[in-house]
Amino acid sequence: MSAQRGYAALKLQREFRTDGKTLFEAWTQSTMLSRWFGPQEHDVLTASINAVQGGQYKIVLRSPEGGEISHFGEYVVVDPHVHLVFTWVLANQDCGGCADQDTSTLVTLRFEQLDSKLTRLTLLHEKLPDQKAYERHKFGWSSSLDSLEDILQSISQ
């Protein structure tokens, strides 16, 4: 964990056995994202994505307890198959410092194609308000990336 302006930053890196185009599309196409996004035991209820600079997205999850968790934001940088940056706003979720308020953070994704069927994803989630938010997002992103890996493996078979 590193600090930036008093906030926590979470960095995860993972290699996927797929090309950069497919991995990028898994993040930018709602039908694909709906298959893997969210922590374990959470279901995607809706996913609306307009992955262009200035475009909006909204993803609504259902928790195992039946509650709804909304994630939404705006795309800041869209460089297909290479780089994606978007604001990340949570509503209806207690993630530490963001209980009962909308807290805007920033997510940066870098896609580095290592060969024709291997791509490294680097995820940087900045401006998390506190340690609790850091830990919850670490779990959520790690779990989501596990599911993404499973989906990509099933597609390639």
Q: Where are the domains of the chain?
A: 2-151
Lateral strand order in the sheet of 103-115: 2-4, 7-16, 118-128, 103-115, 83-91, 68-79, 56-62, 43-49
Whole-number Å distance between alpha carbons of 49 and 27: 9
Q: End-to-end distance of the chain based on CA atoms, in angstroms?
A: 36
Helices (H), 14-130: 20-28, 30-33
**102: nearest Cα among 63, 149, 58:** 58
Tell me: pLDDT of 92 over 70.
Answer: no
Contact 32, 51 (CB under 8 A): no
Distance of alpha carbon 127 from alpha carbon 85, whole angstroms: 13
pLDDT at 89: 92
5-53, pLDDT tens digit by residue? 446 799 999 999 999 999 999 999 999 999 999 998 999 999 999 999 9
pLDDT in tens, 141-152: 999 999 999 999
The model's pTM: 0.89
Neighbouring-strand partners of residue 110: 83, 122
Q: Please give the pLDDT value at position 93.
A: 56
Quote the DSSP letter at residue 23. Answer: H
pLDDT surpasses 70 at 4? no
pLDDT at 96: 47
Structure tokens at 35: 């298959």
Range from 35-44, 89-98, 106-115, 127-136 carrying the lowest mean pLDDT: 89-98
Which pLDDT score, from 0 to 100, does residue 91 have?
75
Architecture of domain 2-151: 2-Layer Sandwich (3.30)
Give the pLDDT band (50/70/90) at residue 90: confident
pLDDT of residue 7: 65
Where are any strands of DSSP class E within 29-150?
Answer: 43-49, 56-62, 68-79, 83-91, 103-115, 118-128
